[in-house]
Amino acid sequence: MLSQISTAVNLDPAPRPTVASQTIADRSPIGTSFRFHRPRGPLCGRGYCFQCEIATPQGRALACQTEAAVDTLGLRRDLLRPLGRLAERFPPWFYERRFLRPYRLSGLGLHVLRYLSAAPSLRDVVREASDDGRRYTRIETEKVVIGSASAEDGAYRVDLAEGRLAFGFYPDRTLGVLDRDGVKEVRFERCVLGTGSYERLPPIAGNDLPGVIGFGALEVYTRSGAVARGTRIAVWAPGGTHQRVRAWVAEQQLSLAWMGDRAPTAILGRRRVEGVTVEEDVRCDFFVVGVAQPAIELALQGGATAELTNDGLPILVLKAYPEWMEIQGAAAAQTSGVPDVRADDAAFACLCEDVRVGDLRQCVEQGFAHPELVKRRTGVMTGPCQGKLCAPAVLATLRRMGVDATATRARPLARPVRLEELAAHA
């Protein structure tokens, strides 16, 4: 629902308690993963990682956007976890040995999917959802500003904090926007993107445990009272931010168990974070990620190109973009600011689909030496987060193995949206 989406960026100095903040306070998992049924907890606090999806009487929802007073279904131990432990012994494609032959035809299918499929027009997307065209509005403007970018007078502004969601670029400089009044087709001449950034998880063992959390999410949950004074945190962040982090930790009366720009070798714990391994084991309640991946999916849909950085921990950054596009803020970052991390085969490259670094290695060794092939064989970058969490980790792993690490195609929608919302039903 848009009413839920619009609360993803909460500017209230004292945010209302959510289902996610409740589980943070209880130090309990919020659900389990798709394939292995591993315990998972809130990560981003902004509604894009989809690690906190829950069932409610009204349907599926994100716990970080659902008030704590709402009844939830299924916040209990997953009885399929023993089956998940068995599944961990097999790669994601173990069932394909009988059903996907002959392998030689896979290249033809890839060609069709990559080059013969075209993005539909925005109006076609809406028509597929419903024949009812109510509340579909076309707007023409000189300049559109997306996210936290600075806006000029007269510019059409699209910001989640104001209840407007930019869900995709379409041909002829058209932006799809969803707000409480319905779907907007915004035609523009110039566009400024201030889409921010996402957490860049380290490829180390235990990186999927509940208690691994973004620094921004920790700020939100601390303001809501979910994080108690004295809570021990370990922070992985660029050196230039350490002074600010220390000041914030002191202000909130938390306990800084460890902080560094060089990632730990492992995150410890069974059902949640219990510590990290650096030179020795350090006990903590949360592993906080302060390393960012620029949010560039909208720019890529608009014709920009991206590449992996070569200095430090690789992230995907914009290499070039159309003359009518301007990038501001964290989305324009060109470095992660931290040293590279030795990837552990047991680490999760893709949290949504439970794909590990070791699975990627096996995939390449079997001859699937292209990001698009790896994507289709393992499922990486196809989950609800749409590659926001995993794309840089996946591509960095492939590059280390000598594989072309070009970013895969970015098509609308840039963020999951219900078809009933696109159809503009009340």
Q: Give the type of residue at 220.
A: V
Q: pLDDT digits over 159-200, tens only?
A: 988 889 999 999 999 999 988 888 899 999 999 999 999 999
pLDDT in tens, 339-382: 999 999 999 999 999 999 999 999 999 999 899 999 989 999 99
What is the pLDDT at residue 114? 44
CA distances from 366 to 25, 98, 103, 355, 403 (A): 45, 16, 11, 16, 13
Q: Which two tokens stand for residue 392?
A: 């840089």
- Looking up tokens 């790896």, which residue turns up? 374
Q: Is the pLDDT of residue 257 over 90?
A: yes
CA pair distance 24, 30, nearest whole angstrom:
9
Cβ partners under 8 Å of residue 402, min gap 6: none
Total residues found in the chain within this entry: 426
pLDDT tops 70 at residue 97 = no
| Average model confidence (pLDDT) across the chain | 85
Partnered with residue 141 across adjacent β-strands are: 188
User: What DSSP designation does 182 have?
Assistant: E
Q: Is the pLDDT of residue 16 over 80?
A: no
Q: How far apart are CA 197 and CA 195, in angstroms?
A: 7
Phi, psi of 40 (to 5 degrees): -135, 155
Q: What is the pLDDT of residues 387-397, one digit of tens each?
A: 999 999 999 99
> What pLDDT was estimated at residue 129?
46
Predicted confidence at residue 336, as pLDDT, reads 97
pLDDT at site 1: 31
pLDDT in tens, 102-139: 555 555 554 554 444 444 555 554 554 444 444 788 99
What whole-number distance in Å separates Cα of residue 133 and Cα of residue 136?
A: 6
What gap in Å lies between CA 257 and CA 275, rounded to an integer? 9
CA distance 363 to 91: 9
- Residue 253: both structure tokens together: 């009366």
Which ranges constitute the DSSP H helices of 7-144? 19-26, 81-87, 96-99, 106-115, 122-129
Closest C-alpha to 371, from 358, 380, 359: 380
Structure letter (DSSP) for residue 369: -
pLDDT attached to residue 406: 87
All structural domains of the chain with their residue ranges: 2-84, 122-196+415-422, 199-292
* Minimum mean pLDDT range among 57-61, 92-96, 163-167, 230-234: 92-96
pTM of the model: 0.86
The per-residue pLDDT for 185 is 92
**Which of 339, 341, 381 has its CA nearest to residue 360?**
381
Does the pLDDT at position 420 exceed 70?
Answer: no
Fold exhibited by the domain 199-292: FAD/NAD(P)-binding domain (3.50.50)
Q: 417: pLDDT confidence band, cut at 50, 70 and 90?
A: confident
pLDDT in tens, 287-331: 999 999 999 999 999 999 999 999 999 999 999 999 999 999 999
Task: Match 């921010």 to its residue by tokens.
Answer: 196
